[in-house]
Amino acid sequence: MTEKVIKYKHDNVTVLWKPDLCIHSKKCWQELAEVFNPRNHPWVNMEGATVDRIMEQVSKCPSGALSYIQTTTEATPTDHTTTTTAVEVLQNGPLMVYGNLTVKDKNGNETTKNKVTAFCRCGASANKPFCDGSHIKVGFKDE
């Protein structure tokens, strides 16, 4: 199955959105509503802020659903390499692991994840072990 990627371009940056990875953390539109507004179509307005501000916000995406490519003489993807690993439990949400990972499933298949990976804690994800935002639909709450 081909991964769905939607591109939003302005000046020297293209924002890439992978809706299947999005966990609907709301971080993008709560912190930069001038660019990211789920009530608008298209929901990304690349003219709503400076390129630097957009790149800064995209870098905060906890699921990796948003990324960007800067256009220079050569297109270079965002560098997702990091030397440290950190784990964070989001209240009423997924387990976030920051760093580069190799995840092996029960059949031994490996998936490489870079920058940030959201793992399901609610048990309702259709994409286990990864979070798909189902915690919102099922009303998952920390006990």
**Complete domains list, the chain, with CATH:** 6-77 (3.30.70), 86-138 (3.40.5)
pTM (2 d.p.): 0.58
Q: Are strands 110-113 and 101-104 parallel, antiparallel or unpaired?
A: antiparallel
Q: Are 19 and 65 in contact (CB under 8 A)?
A: yes
Q: Are strands 66-71 and 101-104 parallel, antiparallel or unpaired?
A: unpaired
Q: What is the largest CA-CA distance in the chain?
A: 51
Q: Is the pLDDT of residue 138 over 90?
A: yes
By C-alpha distance, which of 69, 115, 77 is closest to 96?
115
Residue 12 has pLDDT above 90, yes or no: no
pLDDT at 97: 84
